[in-house]
Amino acid sequence: MPAGTVGGGGSVVIAHSLSEAKQMSKQIRPDLILLAFRLPDSQDADTLPAIRDAFPLSKVVMVTGLNNAFLQWAREQGADAVVSKAEPFDSLVSAISDLFGHRAPNPSAWASLSEREREVARLAASGLTNRQIAAAISRSPNTVKTHLKSAMQKLGVRSRVSLASIRENHQVLGEAPQNHPKG
């Protein structure tokens, strides 16, 4: 079980399998678990619930390259945050910061968003990429990026994960249209 120390004195422990993680749960209580969906000794759908059972007080950030439907499933199964491997590294950092209260999202700022910013924020929170959003609203990916950046600044969030959290916890963003492209 490789271990090390990070800047503030926190520990980093790496488990390479579900059984190794379960064994560690008898010795340590981490604040944060970065979890890959596929571990060599588990059925994919059992990984997250098993980690939740072994570490009930830990924050779990699921890092995955799987599709949008999986992102929703992971949230429903108890992941505190889900970050796509396709997102920039800053998205992971933001998700972790948001989980530990380093930033306070401002869902009441929703009223200050333009109609287009609200639409783009809804679609981003539902898991669509900038290209998918651009296709859905007939705008360029750069225009989507501009609207999304503005909306996120106004809402006080730094990641799509935080947008999804506002959507789920505060029901501010409403439902994304069901006819958006999946490509």
**CATH, residue 128:** 1.10.10.10
Mean pLDDT for the stretch of residues 122-133: 89
Domains: count for the chain: 2
pLDDT in tens, 132-174: 999 999 999 999 999 998 988 888 777 777 777 776 655 545 5
**CATH, residue 29:** 3.40.50.2300
Length of the chain: 183
Regarding whether 134 and 67 lie in a shared domain, the answer is no
Judged by phi (left if over 0) then psi (alpha if -120 to 50, else beta), residue 102 lies in alpha
Rounded Cα distance between 73 and 82, Å, is 10
Q: pTM (2 decimals)?
A: 0.50
Regarding whether 26 and 81 lie in a shared domain, the answer is yes
Sheet with 59-64: strands ordered across: 32-36, 59-64, 81-84
Rounded Cα distance between 128 and 121, Å, is 10
- Domain holding 10, by residue range, is 1-86
* Other CB atoms within 10 Å distance of the CB of residue 38: 11
Share of the chain above pLDDT 70, in %: 73
Query: Is residue 123 in some structural domain?
Result: yes
Residues 6+ apart with CB under 8 A from 75: 82, 164, 168
pLDDT value, residue 167: 65
The letter for the amino acid at 45 is A
Query: Is residue 93 in some structural domain?
Result: no
